[in-house]
Amino acid sequence: MRKIIAAGNWKMNGSREMTQTLLSELKTGLQAGTNADVLVFPAFGYLQQAVELVKGSVIQVGAQNLSTAEKGAFTGEMSGAMLKDLGCTHVLVGHSERRAMNHETSEVVAEKFAMAQKTGLVPVLCVGETLSEREAGNTKVVVAAQLQAVLDHCGVDSLADSVLAYEPVWAIGTGKTATPEQAQEVHAFLRNTLSALDAKIADSLRILYGGSVKGANASALFAMQDVDGGLVGGASLDSGQFLEICAAA
């Protein structure tokens, strides 16, 4: 049985006040217990505040990005060691917004994945196709190539200490969620691809779905055999919505 993960990617949203309010509402809402592993990914500037606030709760804190480098003259970057030092447990790598806007190639993403693990963070590897790639029938080719870059760079064993997230770009922030069947098809494909290399790792790997997950659609998505939780953007900024998603676990 794979435990469901409810992960909130806050993206470039928030303030000290919002971090305080949102996390205290989540803590209160989760006090009675939850079946989910709960993760939040605030922007860099609020990580330390978030880590302090979640103490004594089930919530864990991750970052949205890390540098490929260990340290040194990389102005504006954050290293995995710094994130670990701040108390982060997880880090997103390969989010489609970074692939598109920051020109991160799958090879760079694989380097970040390796660096996350080297510094003791759990990488959450995001893969997903654009609308035109889907319409051209290339969804599986695209996600397989994104996964393959990590396999080439880090080996299949590295997937044992990671989380995978399938986030179709056309479903992100659009209100257009993949149907549970569409999500399941890609999740099963990803798991089968890994299964051919290592069945045990494939079976225990948690694969999250991301793209307009809300309180109202989380249960149907999480009910699919290979959907092991959600990576939630917009709805994770609303404690009521995010708690509903946690409850769907």
167 vs 228 by CB, closer to ligand 13P: 167
C-beta separation of 113 from 154 below 8 A? yes
C-beta separation of 93 from 68 below 8 A? no
**Number of C-beta neighbours around residue 45 at 10 A:** 12
Touching ligand 13P, residues 15-74 (CB under 6 A): none
Long-range CB contacts (within 8 A, 24+) of 107-111:
107/149, 107/153, 108/68, 109/146, 109/149, 109/150, 110/149, 110/150, 110/152, 110/153, 110/154, 111/68, 111/153
Q: What 3-state class would DSSP assign to 62? A: strand
Answer yes or no whether residue 213 interacts with ligand 13P by CB under 6 A: yes
Q: Candidates 143-151, 181-189, 221-229, 233-241 — which segment interacts with ligand 13P by CB under 6 A?
A: 233-241
**Shortest distance in whole angstroms from residue 233 CB to ligand 13P:** 2
Answer yes or no whether residue 173 interacts with ligand 13P by CB under 6 A: yes
Binding ligand 13P by CB under 6 A: which of 167, 226, 228, 244? 167
158 vs 209 by CB, closer to ligand 13P: 209
Nearest to 124 by CA among 96, 153, 85, 152: 96
150 vs 201 by CB, closer to ligand 13P: 150
**Shortest distance in whole angstroms from residue 56 CB to ligand 13P:** 26
Binding ligand 13P by CB under 6 A: which of 63, 143, 190, 232? 232
**Shortest distance in whole angstroms from residue 19 CB to ligand 13P:** 18
Answer yes or no whether residue 128 interacts with ligand 13P by CB under 6 A: no
Binding ligand 13P by CB under 6 A: which of 5, 6, 9, 202? 9
Helix, strand, coil % over all residues of the chain, rounded to 5 = 50, 15, 35
**Shortest distance in whole angstroms from residue 210 CB to ligand 13P:** 4
Q: Where are the beta strands (DSSP E) in the chain?
A: 5-9, 37-41, 60-63, 90-93, 122-127, 163-166, 206-210, 229-232
C-beta separation of 213 from 232 below 8 A? yes
C-beta separation of 204 from 160 below 8 A? yes
Please identify every residue annotated as catalytic: 95, 167
4 vs 235 by CB, closer to ligand 13P: 235
80 vs 229 by CB, closer to ligand 13P: 229
Residues engaged in binding ligand 13P (CB under 6 A): 9, 95, 167, 172-173, 210-213, 231-235
